[in-house]
């Protein structure tokens, strides 16, 4: 597909420099080394420019910081990610963990002027390609460390290693590595219409493309057909690949596919979806432009909106 890597969190200029991870402590002494900072999954961002805040490794906000991850090299300079989730903001700045996505903003007293911690979902479409990749990598690895603190073989507490890209078990010597879960997301069309669905947990009237996790021993094509049929009762013939998107919420790789429906009657699985419907290209254009009373499209920056926008522009092929 044309412009496939323009999707949010797509490729950038980051050199992950995996061969330098063993020397990360020495790289951290480099005067050109910089850091980005996360608090409970939120990156520190310049609120005026929507750029990820970068600072020297001796910046006061990093005093007593938690895990450090070596992300790689940018313009041949080392860049690290730090987690300061131990910081407790004032009561009026507490995060909103109950909402679909947290729109609260936290201002750290030691942060650079004009910067704040913001939900990545809210700002992802505004970030540069380089900043988006840095944020996705750091958020994904921090999330993995948080949820994989114990050995899957023996249950003992594990220890961070390899500049944050590995956890080792001191009891059974097992090595563990960050995981990525493959998810198929499908642009299913029938003539001039596209299949959309909505989850009951989403904001009112929000519709998106159907998606689902792949299963062991399953091809991408088989997963597309299975997920669409399970959720909507629609059968799918031809399936093809379009593009992919790292999705650090918490650790998925969204595999964008197209599929041609061979049936149109929807038989909804209410355990999976609240609703599903066929939407014409003309009605989808209205929704993407904010002119629909019935449909709110998927969040800007998501691969779903990226695929839908390219479909209405006839730039899929």
DSSP secondary structure code for residue 101 in this structure? S
Give the mean pLDDT of the chain.
Answer: 95
- In this prediction, residue 91 has a pLDDT band, given cuts at 50, 70 and 90, of confident
Q: Tens digit of pLDDT for each residue in 26-44?
A: 999 999 999 999 999 999 9
If asked whether residues 126 and 41 sit together in one domain, one would say yes
Of 128, 147, 166, the residue that ends a domain is 147
137 is a domain residue: yes
| pLDDT tens string 126-146 | 999 999 999 999 999 999 999
The count of other CB atoms within 10 Å of the CB of residue 171 is 13
Token couple for 58:
């001796």
The pLDDT of residue 285:
96
Do 123 and 29 have their domain in common? yes
Cβ atoms of 232 and 269 closer than 8 Å: yes
Confidence of residue 242 (pLDDT cuts 50, 70, 90): very high
User: Whose CA is closest to 167, among 175, 67, 146?
Assistant: 175
Write out the residue range of the structural domain in which residue 85 sits. 4-147
Distance separating alpha carbons of residues 102 and 91, to the nearest angstrom: 15
* 3-class SS shares of the chain: helix, strand, coil, % to 5: 25, 30, 45
Residues 171-199 pLDDT 10s: 999 999 999 999 999 999 999 999 999 99
- Helix 303-312 / helix 281-288 crossing angle, nearest 10 deg: 130
Identify whether residues 111 and 203 lie together within a single domain. no
Residue 167 in domain? no
* pLDDT band per the 50, 70, 90 thresholds, residue 101: confident
Residues 6+ apart with CB under 8 A from 281: 192, 193, 194, 311, 312
- Please determine, for residue 317, whether its predicted confidence score (pLDDT) is greater than 70: no
CA distances for 256 relative to 7, 81, 161, 241, 273, angstroms: 10, 29, 33, 6, 19
Give the number of C-alpha atoms closer than 13 A to the C-alpha of residue 150, restricted to the C-beta side: 3
Task: Say if 286 falls within a structural domain.
Answer: yes
95 membership: H or E segment, kind and range: none
Last residue of a domain, one of 130, 147, 164: 147
Instruction: Provide the domain count of the chain.
Output: 2
pLDDT confidence of residue 11 = 75
Where helices occur in the chain by DSSP H, the ranges are 24-27, 120-123, 129-147, 220-232, 281-288, 303-312
pTM above threshold 0.85:
yes
Tell me, yes or no, whether 102 lies in a domain: yes
Q: How does pLDDT run across 224-236, given as a tens digit for each residue?
A: 999 999 999 999 9
Does residue 96 surpass a pLDDT of 90? no
Residue 207: pLDDT above 70?
yes
Give the residue-averaged pLDDT of 248-269: 96
Please, are residues 207 and 198 in contact by the beta-carbon 8 Å criterion?
Answer: yes
Q: Percentage of the chain with pLDDT > 70?
A: 99
Predicted confidence at residue 46, as pLDDT, reads: 98
Q: Output the six-digit token pair for 303.
A: 């691969």
pLDDT at 98 over 70: no
- Within-domain flag for 55: yes
């Amino acid at each position: 597909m044309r412009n496939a890597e323009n999707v949010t969190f797509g490729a950038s200029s980051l050199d992950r420099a995996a061969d330098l991870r063993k020397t990360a402590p020495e790289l951290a002494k480099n005067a050109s080394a910089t850091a980005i900072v996360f608090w409970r999954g939120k990156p520190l961002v310049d609120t005026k420019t929507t750029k990820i805040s970068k600072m020297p490794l001796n910046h006061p906000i990093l005093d007593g910081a938690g895990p450090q991850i070596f992300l790689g090299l940018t313009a041949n300079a080392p860049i690290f990610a730090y987690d300061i989730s131990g910081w407790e903001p004032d009561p009026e700045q507490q995060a909103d963990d109950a909402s679909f996505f947290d729109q609260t903003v936290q201002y750290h007293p030691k942060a650079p002027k004009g910067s704040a911690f913001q939900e990545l979902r809210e700002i992802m479409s505004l970030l540069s390609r380089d900043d988006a990749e840095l944020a996705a990598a750091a958020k994904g690895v921090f999330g993995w460390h948080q949820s994989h603190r114990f050995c899957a073989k023996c249950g003992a507490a594990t220890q961070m290693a390899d500049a944050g890209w590995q956890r080792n078990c001191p009891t059974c010597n097992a090595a563990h590595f960050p995981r990525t879960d493959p998810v198929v997301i499908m642009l299913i069309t029938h003539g001039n219409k596209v299949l959309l669905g909505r989850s009951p947990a989403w904001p009112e009237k929000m519709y998106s493309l159907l998606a689902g996790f792949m299963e062991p021993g399953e091809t991408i094509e088989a997963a597309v057909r299975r997920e669409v049929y399970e959720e909507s009762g629609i059968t799918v013939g031809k399936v093809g690949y379009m593009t992919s998107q790292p999705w650090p919420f918490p650790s998925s790789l969204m595999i964008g596919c197209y599929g041609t429906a061979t049936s149109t009657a929807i038989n909804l699985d209410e355990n999976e979806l609240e609703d599903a419907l066929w939407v014409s290209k003309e009605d989808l254009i209205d929704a993407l432009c904010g002119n629909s009373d019935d449909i709110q499209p998927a969040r800007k920056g998501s691969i779903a909106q990226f695929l839908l926008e390219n479909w209405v522009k006839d730039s899929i092929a």
